[in-house]
Structure 1
Amino acid sequence: MNNGGVAANTFSDKRSKGAIDRKRVAFYGWVGLAYLVLWLIIDFSQYPAPVVPILINNIWLALYLVVINFLFFERILPFARRKRRTVLLPILLVILAVMGQIALYSIGLYLWRKAGIELHLYTALRTFTSTKHAVAYIFPHGLVSILFFGLAKHHYDFIQLKQFAQQLRIEKQEAELHYLRLQTNPHFLFNTLNNIYSLARDKSDLAPESLLRLSKILRFMLYETGAGDIPIENELKIIADYIALEKLRYDDSLQVNFSYHLPEIPERLPPLLLIPLVENAFKHGVSETRDNPFVDIQLAVEQRQLMFSVRNSAEASVGNASEKETIGLPNLRRQLELLYQEYELTIQPGPATFTAVLKINLASHV
């Protein structure tokens, strides 16, 4: 409800600045054409007069009605309804605007008809005994037009407001996704730098190789994460680099299995969507496992259904550690909510293992 109210206010503010909206002008032109066709059908059914004069007469009147309806609905009425210090002033202005418009639909339309006759653009197919008689005859033309244009404008504004509200929701989701990724990137980089720091502190010969791996990760974060969805193969490469960087910290006792099966048709994912599960496996699982640490990572994509499983060793006392992660998993869950309509993230802590399974219908990307 709040989003709808904000959308309505913003939509009104945009339209009240006085700038001419070309799409809206074109809309009134199309409505005027539809009104012209409607009135031609009525005239041809009632008066078997020559076709060309009736056609030209109605075009002449329709031009006038399009202009005054545009001015009334898009300029005069919004100005009269604008909020002011006193409540009575807008009401008074609306009443005056309606009265003025009635005058334009009656006397104004009659004068426009008379001007067309003087310019030899309008053919007088009927004669009137008095001006009052002429005004009374032509007034229904204007009255029908205000109903026709009013209903069309109401429908058009409803569609525009709905589209504008949808655009606001999309922009809000994109901003939140950007914020979530801004959280993920430094968090991921901070943990990676910690790994390199531990190698440098121990004066390990593996420190140069770790810096090389880090440079690949940084290149990915700089050039891939801000460009929308990426091929799954690129996501797998960064996971492989991260695994290689983590393995530098451990001896041969750490067992890592990383396997995947991809379809022939390339699929795409948001960048760094899968890495939090891998990161948690090392940070909260392997790093706190004393005996036989392992990480088993499997990914499969079949018929646009992605299944990503990460299983790692865990001590009994820290079986729920990943669930307490304040950035990784909650961040991932929120990104999934914003990105996909059909997904499932299952966390299965156990006495000696911890398993996270992510299933995504890639076709449900919003």
Structure 2
Amino acid sequence: MKRLSGIKKYKLYLWLVPVFFLLNVLGAVVQGKGGFPARAVNEAWLVCYLSAANYRLFEHSLPALSWKRFFRSFLVLLLYIFIYSLGFYCWRELGVTLHIFTVLNHTATIPDKIGALTGYSISSVVIFGVIRHIVNYIKLKQSAQQLRIESQQAELNYLKSQTNPHFLFNTLNNIYSLARDKSDLAPESILRLSKILRYMLYETSSPYTAIEQDLKIIDDYIALEKLRYDDTLRINFNHDLEDRKQGLPPLLLIPLVENAFKHGVSETRDQPFVDIRLEVKNRILLFTVKNSTGEPAAGNAVKENIGLSNLRRQLQLLYTDYSLEVQPGDFIFIASLRINLASHV
């Protein structure tokens, strides 16, 4: 891990050093200074020294400074003052001795040279420091964004892990009641359950699926529920889809349908009904579920179960433009869902 971190630090300086070199060379061209080839070589020689010094300063020395080691930290700062002044001048003279650095101003005194080099080194520290801070800030924001996405995905998976078994448990209860009564409809219910299980195992792992796939699961679930009731149960399921291939998180709509049966129709004695309407136009999804209840509005306080509460949280994580409203009435319950499918996160 340390080696990988060091490689990332080197990558920053691999492009930062050439940028700093080009800035100084272009600055000399703009100012109209002569001796361009020799000046470019001089800049390259000086930048090599400053790059090594700045790398050591920002990546090793500054992070190690602390008030607890005040004396040591003070000595380190004094060392860098020498490195960026007299040390820099010694590096320049070494270049002159090796015939790498060309003296372009023969009238400058040694104090003038040291002063000019010190100013040059300070400007490099400022430029390196500012750019390094900006790059690290951008990386930190990207890491925070990635962490937020991973956290949200983990929460979505957790919500699905709660909702899917809850939905499956209720479906198995329906089949159990048929099997207990030795109903001839039990084999058909098991076949429909197998379709639902196949969908839950192989299709719900993807973030989105075609909305027509969810429609098939809703149809199978409704058919399973109808097996438990006689002809007095009235069910209407209408849909108007502009694009049946429109992407939708799998099993997002099923909690509202399940809620209509488990907490509505199952508690209704007279004329039970479920009306379901799904419409998708211009990427706006409207899903309305109306069902009968066993109580009047006064005694029908809204208490969200695990299916509705999980659905509400999933919507918060998946979309920025949506609304989920539940309206209890006299022996009727209405759940309305609106989603701008283009507002997915």
TM-score w.r.t. the length of structure 1 is 0.87
Among 142, 145, 152, which residue is 2:131 paired with?
152
Is the aligned partner of 1:27 residue 2:7?
no
RMSD: 2.3
> Do the aligned residues in 2 keep the contact of 1:284 with 1:322 (CA within 8 Å)?
no
Q: Which residue of 2 aligns with 1:164?
A: 143
Helix, strand or coil: the match of 1:324? coil
What is the aligned residue count?
345
For 2:139 and 2:75, the matched residues in 1 are separated by: 28
Q: 1:153 to 1:103 in 2, by over 3 A?
A: same
Deviations 1:12-51 (A, max 9, x none): xx8xx46445454333233323322332244345573211
Helix, strand or coil: the match of 1:316? coil
Structure 1: gaps spanning 5 or more residues: 1-13, 82-86
Q: 1:332 to 1:284 in 2, by over 3 A?
A: same
| Cα drift, residue 151 of structure 1 | 1.3
Q: 1:322 to 1:222 in 2, by over 3 A?
A: farther
| Cα drift, residue 235 of structure 1 | 1.1
Q: 1:244 to 1:119 in 2, by over 3 A?
A: farther
| Cα drift, residue 355 of structure 1 | 0.8
Q: Which residue of 2 aligns with 1:222?
A: 201
Match of 1:251, as an amino acid? D
Q: Which residue of 2 aligns with 1:57?
A: 42
For 1:320 and 1:38, the matched residues in 2 are separated by: 76
Deviations 1:274-318 (A, max 9, x none): 000000000011111111111111111100100001111112258
Q: 1:123 to 1:268 in 2, by over 3 A?
A: same
> Do the aligned residues in 1 keep the contact of 2:296 with 2:331 (CA within 8 Å)?
no
> Do the aligned residues in 2 keep the contact of 1:298 with 1:308 (CA within 8 Å)?
yes
TM-score w.r.t. the length of structure 2 is 0.92
Q: Which residue of 1 aligns with 2:64?
A: 79
> Do the aligned residues in 2 keep the contact of 1:284 with 1:321 (CA within 8 Å)?
no
For 2:120 and 2:77, the matched residues in 1 are separated by: 16
Is the aligned partner of 1:69 residue 2:54?
yes
For 2:57 and 2:34, the matched residues in 1 are separated by: 33
Among 36, 40, 43, which residue is 2:28 paired with?
43
Helix, strand or coil: the match of 2:84? helix
Q: Which residue of 1 aligns with 2:152?
A: 173
For 1:295 and 1:119, the matched residues in 2 are separated by: 92
Moved more, 173-182 or 120-129: 120-129
Q: 1:151 to 1:94 in 2, by over 3 A?
A: farther
Q: Which residue of 1 aligns with 2:265?
A: 286
Match of 1:269, as an amino acid? L
Q: 1:338 to 1:264 in 2, by over 3 A?
A: closer
Match of 1:248, as an amino acid? L
| Cα drift, residue 169 of structure 1 | 1.7
Deviations 1:167-217 (A, max 9, x none): 222222111111111110111111011111101111111111111111111
Q: Between the two proteins, what is the percent identity of the paired residues? A: 52
For 1:63 and 1:143, the matched residues in 2 are separated by: 15
Moved more, 190-199 or 107-116: 107-116
Helix, strand or coil: the match of 2:134? helix
Match of 2:130, as an amino acid? L
Helix, strand or coil: the match of 1:344? strand
| Cα drift, residue 341 of structure 1 | 0.5
Q: Which residue of 2 aligns with 1:309?
A: 288
Moved more, 343-352 or 38-47: 38-47
Q: 1:184 to 1:121 in 2, by over 3 A?
A: same
Q: Which residue of 2 aligns with 1:84?
A: none
Is the aligned partner of 1:103 residue 2:88?
no
